[in-house]
Amino acid sequence: MKKRKTLISLIYCFAFFYTNAFASEQTIGIGIHANKYDLENDNLLQLIEKSGFNSFRQDLTWDSVEKNKGVYAIPPKLKLVDEIIRGAKKYNISPLVILDYGNKNYNNGGYPANEQDIAAFAKYAKWVASNYKGQVKYYEIWNEWTVGTGMKGKGEIPPPQIYLELVKKTSQAIKSVDPSAVILAGSFNPLSPTGRRLNISDSDWFMILINEGILNYIDGISIHPYSFLNANKKLRNPEYNINKIDQFYNKIKEQNIKKVPLYITEIGIPTHSGLGGVDPVEAADYVVKYSLLAKSKSYIKGIWWYDLSNDGGDMKNQEHNFGFYDSNFNPKPAAKAFINLQKFLNNKRIDKISTTNTNNAKQFNIEVKDSLTQKDYTIYWNEKQLEQNGRIPYFAIKKFNAQNSENFDQKNLSRDVSVK
């Protein structure tokens, strides 16, 4: 009950200074785990909307939908997931549904790696697409195939050709019942220099798929460019992260005749006290900088931050601390800075990005024009290395207190990002 009361008060508070998602061709989304929230569907959708997002990303796993072979249904535990998908349009929110993971009825819950299992996966996807026709805009086929997410102990990762066949059959099944659905696939990290579970890098893995024809079956390439633990520390900074994505997209241009765009369907920065964690205000800076740089790229058609709220209360646990809100839905600095950014960007377009060297520091300048008033603005910040915790846990990291958050405004989008 405490969470619900806190959330309702937050919704009314945020409505005061954020009233409309900014107009952009780029979808701005947030990852959620709706089945784990003790919230009413309208409260959750209102929070997503008032936080500046026009999409959410939620999985609807194969195993949960097809519990008995050939029988499809949304189980009671996913009631909230079903409700928010069906209620999203009311809030101008476009859901992204992930179709993923194994099913105990096929290959003992392992990867769909033969013709029969792939056909079964495609049937599940077709049922989901038919069930939510006109309500789900995006479907992402699988989640992080190359690193085995959600498939621990389920066998070796099948070769690229198996994933290609899965994407082909699933895409065709979805399009047969909902031709307007936007099909995304890949969910790999183009910044990883080597594979975590494969003997090739994620980028090389996807290049194989491109050469095999995967772009004929998808509307977007989904990537998860996490870099907060990348061995190349420069890539941990938003400026170099986006630059590396530029390099990847340029690399595939010759084969990408259809000009299939990129969608960043998962990106985040944790605020835990262990290795790679950052102070919550540092995370807010990262979110603002990264959002601006991604928005400046016409080939990036969407970005979904991970994730809406912390998954737990353990400050030492990395996976508990990716949220824009804490586990009780109190806003962390990233949430407040992001809302402030969206409010500023409303009715504005990015015209130009440039860099200047000032006092031995590289300054990033983003020129923005208000389409209503024709007024020009410059957003600027000095490049700096991301400040992170080392291997020895940094117990001094402050536990976020909602009452002591930064007071961001239209001249200070975050601690380090200013407007003139």
**What is the Cα–Cα distance from 103 to 64, expressed in whole angstroms?**
8
Task: For 286-330, give the secondary structure using H, E and C.
Answer: HHHHHHHHHHCCCCEEEEEECCCECCCCCCCCHHHCCCCECCCCC
| Contacts (Cβ under 8 Å, ≥6 apart) of 307 | 30, 31, 32, 33, 268, 322, 323, 324
pLDDT, one tens digit per residue, over 336-351 is 999 999 999 999 999 9
pLDDT digits (tens, 9 = 90+) for 204-258: 999 999 999 999 999 999 999 999 999 999 999 999 999 999 999 999 998 899 9
Model pLDDT for residues 349-360, shown as the tens digit of each residue: 999 999 999 788
pLDDT band at 195 (very low <50, low <70, confident <90, very high): confident
Give the span between the Cα atoms of 262 and 222, in whole angstroms. 6
Sign of CA dihedral 92, 291, 250, 141: negative
Read off the pLDDT of each residue in 116-143 and give the average, rounded to a whole number: 99
Residue 16 has pLDDT above 60, yes or no: no
Give the residue, 11 or 86, on which the prediction is more confident: 86
- On the question of pLDDT at 269 being above 60, the answer is yes
**Percentage of the chain surpassing pLDDT 70?**
90
**Which stretches of 337-385 are assigned E, i.e. beta strand?**
348-358, 361-370, 376-382
Q: What is the pLDDT of residue 392?
A: 64
Q: How far apart are CA 379 and CA 414, in angstroms?
A: 11
Average per-residue pLDDT in the chain?
91
d(CA 89, CA 148): 33
Q: What pLDDT was estimated at residue 398?
A: 46
Predicted local confidence at residue 13, as pLDDT: 45
Element (H, E) at 17: helix 2-17
Q: What topology does CATH give the domain 2-346?
A: TIM Barrel (3.20.20)
pTM of the model: 0.92
* Domain assignments of the chain as residue spans, ordered by start: 2-346
Residues 137-193 have pLDDT tens digits of 999 999 999 999 999 989 999 999 999 999 999 999 999 999 999 999 999 999 998
The reported pLDDT for the residue numbered 307 is 96
CA angle 77–78–79, rounded 5-degree value: 95
Whether the predicted pLDDT of 9 surpasses 80:
no
Distance CA 30, CA 48 (A): 8
Q: In what order do the strands lie in the sheet with 361-370?
A: 348-358, 361-370, 376-382, 418-419
- pLDDT-derived band at 282, boundaries 50, 70, 90: very high
The total of other beta-carbon atoms located within 10 Å of residue 16's CB is 8
Assign residue 156 a region: left if phi > 0, alpha if psi is -120 to 50, beta otherwise?
A: beta
Q: pLDDT at position 213, please?
A: 97
Residues whose CB is less than 8 angstroms from the CB of residue 21 and which lie 6 or more positions away in sequence, other chains included: 28, 49, 52, 53, 54, 92, 342
Kindly compute the dihedral angle of the four CA atoms of residues 38, 223, 151, 56, in this order, to the nearest 10 degrees: 20
Q: Indicate the residue type of 279.
A: D
Integer Cα distance of 258 and 219 in angstroms: 9
Q: How confident is the model at residue 15 (pLDDT cuts 50, 70, 90)?
A: very low
Taking residues 315-338, report their average pLDDT: 96
Beta bridge partners of 68: 71
- Confidence category of residue 266, pLDDT binned at 50, 70, 90: very high
Q: Which residue has the tokens 């400026």?
A: 239
At residue 22, the pLDDT reads: 35
**What confidence tens digit (pLDDT) does each residue in 58-79 have?**
999 999 999 999 999 999 999 9
